[in-house]
Structure 1
């Protein structure tokens, strides 16, 4: 019980620890392991073990630090970056990681037929937006070029204050060109190259096994550039969507780290096994995405009424119980020094919500029809959806239908627009408000709700062209005020990262992005 587990004295987690294998709960099977196509947090956790970008994020401070690039220079007032590759950086087949591997990967991510949803992250790079939109057909015009194997030169349209931090995202990871060409994936959405035995990666691990509904297994990359910082021999990720099942797996010694914690057990664990409960701030927001292109959600008055009729504190205190905070804005407070004025935030106001619904032509909810709420399988998403449905019924007379989909089916529904209201979340790719607000730009591939407001887009563009941080944040606050005023989404709560972790796991640092590159992580010796 000292390690929060009960049962046999030598558990699967103990055996795995002896072998240097970390056992991690991961909520769902990855939809893909293609860095250009991955969109979920679960995929990013796995990809962070398989691949490594030009720079990494320090697990404690999140400040950029050398990775595949050993150093860099920032020139021309921030419009030019010159990266010098680490000669030790190798692919898992032993070949050298070269500057051209990044150029190849970035050009591929921008191809319209690839459909990279994070392609908008490349916007600061010269000609990236023209290539992404199809206006420029020649991908060689992208402002990224290799000067020999060891130097990568990146030219920007304008200075981008968060550019180095953005490079930690999986969309910027390099790709092994020969592997993709072998399976015809260099310019197509083909997945054979991502299978065990086919994938060649440059991170601390390589892909050893991927069994649907069982696990994804990573094992040590013998050619990794920094073996002195890698103490683990691998990691196994288990797709356990039921939080109670995951809780039992941890307590019976089958996991070292969980994805979440059953709210019903938080109090008990905090009292009896505090050394196993990890809780810390997380730059993320849980929200309901409204399909702005689908009646009646195309009417902002309806969206605002639905948003105002939710008691967020009741959801947190009655269901979650993990230190979350009610969200009346989209960007979490304190993100990169940004702050939204109180007057611009959403309100919880049932009386006003009823008036807005009546003004939209649906007094007392009459004529509105049932509002479908789509969510992916999870023991937490279901009770939240039920609570929201009850609040809409009691406060507005609006009925809702709940649709529970598997992770792949949920992603497909979002991308195709086959939803009215969809359970959503966003965790920052880098610690700045732009990481949140860019999601709802008209041109964003992540804008699944099809919200479009030229003035909002204009404000984001003006903010990007504003070098002064204070003035830039003021522009971003104007943009967020418009976003909330139109109720493009319904924010519900700001995340607190809550999970279980074995005290034997050392070096798994808490940080606001919950970013982990597995370096420095190791196991303490077993208690005797």
Structure 2
């Protein structure tokens, strides 16, 4: 039985209806291997047509899509091509092989200078964060976690590495949501860097540079050294690591990097069960992304009841945080909930089991020939049934870089 939740009806907007005539009698353990995963059946404006493994998925217009919901799409078909390499994806966009696709930060300038393409940036429901292993010294000390958060210059990351296509991070609510209740006059919740305060907190926690090498040590001479894990599939995260390393070194922290394959990194941070049933996690920080959905709820990540479950990757536990999360989950009146959100967000930014770095925008390149593209924070493809290539553009010039 799931616990009560004030926004439970909205959760249903995130679930996809499954065809009972195909899946009713399939055991849950066998769903992942069922043919439905390769030949899906749906009721949207496009229907699955065919799939070429590792190459493409093809969907064709549904002629029976209700007029009340927009009717048959303009396009006859949409082809989703599988192109793992980011540089190759961008090349396909530039040469006319694709009409719509993600653009990584390091390719923004190249695509912006191209003819026949436009860049579209839309806020989404995700954020990039560092999850700290709060059971592992010295990260079990809130002063150290808070110092790390204060030492990281989010604005520098957004303006430099991300070319302004993101918002500096605060906590696990995105700016487009009503739960965003930060007080603009409160310096505690500003996404600011304060290296001097970070240094004071580390000194208060008995970390100081005892040998003059620029890295702080504890009373026994052990350096303030930790490892940040991320996955190699994200070129943005790989490029972000040296920026964070340099910022933390300014306050005396030696941050090492461990770049892994994505599935292996998640297996590492989820940990293993220890002899007493507690979760053992062999990492310090994990650079990753998280998605909030329409109704923010940190319980699945930060509630103490889940600290020994695989999803509780920070191992964080706080009776006060639990109480606030529990109350927020059942407060249906938004006028009552708003000040509770403000209190909770302020408290958690001070506790810092996570450092929310930024709220990225979904940046896609769209061919000038493709009309009707509108994105929302919850979906890049919200207007797909209205996408069209007008007749006068169907045999137009090729896209190309200058």
TM over 0.5: same fold?
yes
Whether 1:409 and 2:264 are equivalent positions in the alignment is yes
Once the two structures are superposed, what CA deviation does each residue of 1:352-374 show, in whole Å capped at 9, x if it has no partner? 22232333343243223332332
Task: Spell out the pairing of 1:456-471 with structure 2 (5 A cutoff).
Answer: 456-471=321-336
Once the two structures are superposed, what CA deviation does each residue of 1:451-491 show, in whole Å capped at 9, x if it has no partner? 22222121122223333312201112222222211111111
Secondary structure (helix, strand or coil) at the match of 1:338 reads coil
Q: Distance in 1 between matches of 2:339 and 2:33?
A: 46
How many correspondences in the alignment?
Answer: 364
For residue 513 of structure 1, what is the aligned residue in structure 2? Answer: 378
- Within the candidate set 201, 204, 218, 1:359 is matched to 204
1:315, CA displacement in angstroms? 1.7
Contact 2:61 2:77 in 1 (8 A): yes
* TM-score, with length taken from structure 1: 0.61
For residue 395 of structure 1, what is the aligned residue in structure 2? Answer: 251
1:233, CA displacement in angstroms? 4.0
Unmatched 5+ residue regions in structure 2?
209-214, 272-280, 397-402
For residue 349 of structure 2, what is the aligned residue in structure 1? Answer: 484
For residue 212 of structure 2, what is the aligned residue in structure 1? Answer: none
Whether 1:128 and 2:2 are equivalent positions in the alignment is yes
Contact 1:196 1:207 in 2 (8 A): no
Contact 1:250 1:257 in 2 (8 A): yes
Unmatched 5+ residue regions in structure 1?
1-126, 130-156
Task: Spell out the pairing of 1:416-427 with structure 2 (5 A cutoff).
Answer: 416=271, 417=281, 419-427=283-291
For residue 375 of structure 1, what is the aligned residue in structure 2? Answer: 231
- Within the candidate set 33, 41, 48, 1:192 is matched to 33
Task: Spell out the pairing of 1:46-445 with structure 2 (5 A cutoff).
Answer: 127-129=1-3, 157=4, 160=6, 162-169=7-14, 172-180=15-23, 184=26, 186-188=27-29, 190-193=31-34, 199-203=40-44, 204-206=46-48, 208-209=50-51, 211-212=53-54, 214-220=55-61, 228-266=71-109, 269-270=111-112, 273=115, 276-333=118-175, 335-336=177-178, 338-341=180-183, 342-345=186-189, 347-363=192-208, 364-366=215-217, 367=222, 368-405=224-261, 407-416=262-271, 417=281, 419-430=283-294, 432=295, 434-435=296-297, 439-443=301-305
Contact 1:310 1:348 in 2 (8 A): yes
Once the two structures are superposed, what CA deviation does each residue of 1:167-215 show, in whole Å capped at 9, x if it has no partner? 221xx22223453466x5x332641115566544444332732624x34
RMSD: 3.2
Contact 1:456 1:479 in 2 (8 A): yes
Distance 1:273 1:418, change over 3 A: farther
Once the two structures are superposed, what CA deviation does each residue of 1:92-122 show, in whole Å capped at 9, x if it has no partner? xxxxxxxxxxxxxxxxxxxxxxxxxxxxxxx
Contact 1:280 1:498 in 2 (8 A): yes
Contact 1:283 1:512 in 2 (8 A): yes
For residue 451 of structure 1, what is the aligned residue in structure 2? Answer: 316
Q: Distance in 2 between matches of 1:189 and 1:489?
A: 35
* TM-score, with length taken from structure 2: 0.78
Q: Distance in 2 between matches of 1:438 and 1:205?
A: 34
Contact 1:331 1:436 in 2 (8 A): no
Contact 2:111 2:365 in 1 (8 A): no
1:400, CA displacement in angstroms? 1.3
Distance 1:462 1:181, change over 3 A: closer
Secondary structure (helix, strand or coil) at the match of 2:254 reads coil
Secondary structure (helix, strand or coil) at the match of 1:495 reads strand
Distance 1:371 1:254, change over 3 A: same
Distance 1:224 1:270, change over 3 A: same
